Structures are given as structure tokens and as C-alpha cells.
Amino acid sequence: MMPDHSVLVIVDVQNDFCPGGSLAVRDGDAIIPVINEQTTYFSRVIATQDWHPEGHVSFASSHPGLQPFDELDANGISQTLWPDHCIAGTAGARLHPELNQAAISLILRKGTKQHMDSYSAFFENDHVTPTGLHGYLQELRAKELYFCGLATDVCVFYSAMDALQLGYQVYLLADACRGVDAPAGSADRRLQELADAGCRIL
């Protein structure tokens, strides 16, 4: 069993990011057995969920004439556009039913504001507005964070990078992550960026 100061953070293992979902990551559900095994080693497990309102700023459908994976300036923040996904309260926003949810002690929902996205589990995309996760982890006296989930090159990357900047020892469980990888190679580049920043890739 891992010590109490070690926390497993499961990022966005939701139906819409798994095969059959509106923003499916290839083989996204293949990581679930690996994650479930890891939950048995941690006394503290946190999960995050994208939890968007309808018409969210990140949806291409909210911007007539634009397509998924286009980019725009949203209130001074560079925003990649995506298909509609993880709309609050919908089946697509639910955690995948095969995920061991009994092990999860906290579910943090992010991307809840209409006009701002939140890739990171720690900050919204202005990199200033906190989600509250850091405060929660400080109360737990957490020191080591182990990240897994979806997607390697988006929400897992930004969450792990912010964790490093906040002073945690950060690990990424590579076989328990999958990337969007658009454009091709971006997932591997993000892994290298994390390693260069001090994240240990396991």
C-alpha cells in the first residue's frame, strides 16, 4: 500500500472520451483495468470530470463556421474547439461504468463555466482561477501525485504540469493513459515535456 501522502489522480475517464463517445480517445477504455488495479494500492484516490454547460465555449458548435480542432481567441485565452462533449448531467459526462468508483474519495468537476475551459485539475485555462484541488491536497498533506487517465496530451498533461509547478513530486502512469494525439506525435511530445520538467514517467 502506498503511503497516505501519495494520491492517485484519475483524469476524465468519462464515457464521451471512450470508444463510442462524442470525443473518443482511441483505446481510451483499455486503460481502465490498469487504473482499477492501481486503485488497490492507494488509500487516497481522486477523479476529475469535465462537466460542461450546454453551449460551452470549447464546443465548435458554439461558433458558427468553425470546426472541431480549429482554434480561436476566447476572452484572451487560446481555445481549441472540440465536438460537444461531457455536458453536465448527461450519460457522456458520467465516469465509465467499468471504472472502480468505490475507491474514489473525491470527484472534482471542471470546465463548469460557460466562457472558460479547464484542462488542468488545478486551474482553469486562465492559469489563475483555482479549482480547489490544491487546497484539498494540502489538507491531506499530500506530497506525491500519480496521474493517469484521458487524455495524455491535454488534461493529463496540464494537470501534471501544474502539479509540478505547485511543488508536488509527480508521476505519470504511462500505460494508464491514452492521448488524442492530434496532430500525430503530440502525445509523445507532451510526455517528453513532462519528463523534462521533472515528472517521472512510469
Q: Which residues are the active-site residues?
A: 12, 110, 155
Q: Around Cβ 195, how many Cβ atoms within 10 Å?
A: 12
User: What one-letter code names the amino acid at 27?
Assistant: D
CB-count exposure of residue 97 (10 Å: 0-12, 13-18, 19+): exposed
Q: Say if residues 155 and 122 touch (Cβ distance below 8 Å).
A: no
What grid cell was written down for 14? 468519462
CA distance 24 to 31: 13
C-alpha distances in Å from residue 85, one per residue of 35, 62, 74, 171:
22, 12, 18, 28
